[in-house]
């Protein structure tokens, strides 16, 4: 499964504003936000701010690859 990522600024009410819109087949499936330094040891991790058509996200991943793998797995399981 191929995901397309599009950079975006996200208004989160905190310093966490670097985001990515995640598309699958031109449909928005998730919004990822990179955690800022205010999150100490989790700084730089990716947080699933919102998800669409898959299990509720609100998960944190150490890197973008892990986040994409989780999203792809969730999409595969919901499309069976």
pLDDT at 79: 64
C-alpha dihedral, 66 to 67 to 73 to 74, nearest 10°: 150
CA–CA separation, 10 vs 78, rounded Å?
Answer: 27
pLDDT tens for 36-80 read 878 788 888 999 999 998 877 689 999 999 999 999 999 988 665
Domain spans in the chain, listed from the N-terminal domain onward: 3-78
């Amino acid at each position: 499964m191929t995901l397309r990522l599009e950079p975006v600024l996200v208004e989160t009410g905190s310093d966490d504003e670097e985001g990515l819109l995640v598309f699958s087949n031109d449909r928005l499936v998730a919004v990822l936000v990179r955690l800022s330094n205010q999150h100490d040891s989790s700084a730089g991790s990716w947080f699933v701010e919102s998800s669409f058509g898959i299990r509720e996200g609100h998960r944190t991943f150490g890197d973008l690859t892990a986040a994409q793998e989780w999203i792809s797995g969730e999409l595969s399981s919901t499309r069976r």
